[in-house]
Structure 1
Amino acid sequence: MTAQFPGYFISFEGIDGAGKSTHIESFAQLIKDRHPDREIVLTREPGGTQLGEQLRGLLLDAPMNLETEALLMFAARREHIAQVIEPALRSGKIVISDRFTDASFAYQGGGRGLSLDKLNDLERWVQGRADGSLLQPNLTILFDLPGTVAEVRRSKVRAPDKFEQMDLTFFEKVRQEYLRRAKADSKRFHLVDATQTQESIWSGLQKLDIKLVDE
């Protein structure tokens, strides 16, 4: 977790079609309005840096070995942490990221079946701190949605990337891994019932009581 930093780290998670990207910019503005003295850094994974954005194109479209995919995801994440996330948190900024490590466990682990032990090793390597802790979000907002509903929503949007083209079984496995992570770290996660209307979801997000590190 990020308690050693004066900043605050929030991640948005959920299967494709859950609606997290619909709300993230409005949520960032909401947090800015509540904390006008804090700078907001809105970023995403894979991506967030020049190298990360280049890797994003490969990761979302190019066929590759599963372990290669996971290694590239964490390589992009290491750069993201080093160049964007840690510097922002050290200077007291609020970082809001569209996906972080929970997505790797959900997609490469749950969906694709990569060993969770391998992902745990990568997580410790890439996010490990000198004191033995892991850099993790202070808060993860998980948009939870059944795969069948998400599938309908995805069919109405732009041309799908290689993950968005996966079948219902894949996305149900992704969802279950997200829920497993949320249960294992319930203090960090806030679950959003993404079957609600956009208005209801936004109303719930506005009611979140977020305590910054120095409050």
Structure 2
Amino acid sequence: MPQVLKEEIHDRIFQAGIDVFYEKDYRSAKMQDIAEKAHIPVGLIYTYFRNKEELFDKIASSIYVDFDEITEEEERAAGLPSERYKNVAEKYLLDLLEKHEIFVILMDKSKGTKYEDSKDKMICSIERHIKKRFAPKISQARNDMLFHILASNFAESILEVARHYKNREFAHTMLGLVTKCYYEGVNAL
């Protein structure tokens, strides 16, 4: 019975950490805020986590984010770019967005942690992916800036879906529209 209670308290602290980091960010969040959200004394948090950094690390590392892996897998797949996205990347993104709050925390609210460059890494990965596909078709003078703009916009689109996440169907619909615009242009809508 005591083990169940310990797991329940651990889970309450973990969820309260998600809620507070999502609402504020790493730097603004206080352990007192997390304790209040978990309905426990602040000192009890330190029984489970050494400090705020360790709690944040456990939360941030609870999702698997590797855009390099997914873009490389997509590049190995056959078919048109839109088909490769649909067959490879879509499920990964939908699964990632199931934990949308943690994804947003990792990408937007991690300044001051070892994860603070996560969004930049995502953009760079997407940028390299776009560059491999389209570099031969675009004049060299415009390549780097255009690839960066496209990657930043696509990454921000994914984050906007995460920030406004309602359910998996909502995410599926929105990602479908975003990628349709991305691959075919707004006239495709």
Larger Cα Rg: Structure 1 or Structure 2? 2
Whether TM exceeds 0.5 here: the answer is no
Q: Greater helix share, 1 or 2? A: 2
Q: Higher RCO, 1 or 2 (CA under 8 Å, sep at least 6)?
A: 1
TM-score by length of structure 1 reads 0.29
TM-score by length of structure 2 reads 0.32
